Amino acid sequence: MTAVSDPPVPAVEPAPAPEPAGEAKPRDILIIQYSGELEKTWAAMILATTGAAMGAKVRVFLTFWGLQAFVKDSRRITGDNVMQKMMSFMQRPGISHRKLSKMNFLGMGPWMMNKLAKQYNVASPKELLEIGQAMGVEFMPCQMTMDMFGLKKEDMIDGLGEPVGAATVIALMQGGDAPLFI
Amino acid sequence: MSTEQIAQVVDAKGLSCPMPIVKTAQAIKGLASGQLLEVLATDPGSVKDFTAWANATGNPLVEHGEEGGVFRFVLRKK
């Protein structure tokens, strides 16, 4: 008599592991910083630091005029060719040299804003940026903007991540990051 | 009023949004689980902000009140 193998055990799906107890992980936040005006740079920095303070992973994609704000304050003229140099001449790069989109009045508007911010103990965009970096906010420069404006790694402030492209941004959104376009 | 000992105090008086929350988040990192953090702030928006922060981060707000325009929050590190 030949040995009869045991009848196959009916496949039973293992019970799904219970959800880990405790709080759900907060959604990651993705800020697309496209604009470079003072008020929008400020808003982005406030939300980035607050997001990090609330325990969320925050990434800021720096593109077009948004990237200009992350050039070192000490750089005056950037770029290789005449047009790139003209662009930086017309709009000084750096987070401390942002203009208001309305009521700039040749710098009078930003001057008053900064004065009011000091009076009411509001942290400046530069202070918020430094706090954000210390709290682990990740800044991702846009490679295409770097190329178009002729910006080099050494023109940019310290602590930025590797330059990336739009696909990285879309992939993060598809992965569930809360997106914010400023 | 709890009789438990406060492990650290954050003085955020005079500071505007988002600094009271940011300073709180930075300070609570240095505490051990179960320790209490006291925050003093004068920003009226901080009342709602601290409730939101406590809910989002899971560090319970165990006590809060106001005296002479100064808001006081006591948070327990989770």
- B36: CATH: 3.30.110.40
| Residues on chain B bordering chain A, Cβ-to-Cβ distance under 8 angstroms | 14-19, 21-22, 24-26, 52-53, 56-58
* Structure token digits, residue A84: 């790139």
- Domain A29-181 annotated CATH 3.40.250.10: no
Question: A49 and B18 in contact by Cβ < 8 A?
Answer: yes
Sequence letter at residue B29: K
Please give the tally of structural domains in chain B.
Answer: 1
Domain positions in chain A are 29-181
Indicate whether B19 belongs to any domain: yes
Residues spanned by the domain of B69: 6-76
Q: What confidence tier does A25 reach under pLDDT thresholds 50, 70, 90?
A: confident
- pTM of the full structure: 0.84
Question: A22 and B58 in contact by Cβ < 8 A?
Answer: yes
Starting at the earlier edge strand, list the strands of the sheet with B6-12: B6-12, B36-41, B70-76, B61-67
Q: Which residues of B touch A131 (CB under 8 A)?
A: 22
CA-to-CA distance for A58 and A124, rounded, in angstroms?
19
Indicate whether B1 belongs to any domain: no
Give the one of B15, B19, B56 whose C-beta lies nearest to A54's C-beta.
Answer: B56
pLDDT of residue A66: 96
Give the one of A26, A50, A55 whose C-beta lies nearest to B18's C-beta.
Answer: A50
Indicate whether B13 belongs to any domain: yes
Question: What does the pLDDT look like over A107-124, one tens digit per residue?
Answer: 899 999 999 999 989 999
pLDDT of residue A2: 54
Arithmetic mean of pLDDT, A65-75: 95
Q: How many CB pairs under 8 A join A and B?
A: 44
Q: What one-character-per-residue DSSP string does A115-149 give?
A: HHHHHTTPPPHHHHHHHHHHTT-EEEEBHHHHHHH
Instruction: Judge if ipTM > 0.95.
Output: no
Indicate whether B43 belongs to any domain: yes
Which of the residues of B are catalytic? Answer: 17
Question: B15 and A55 in contact by Cβ < 8 A?
Answer: no
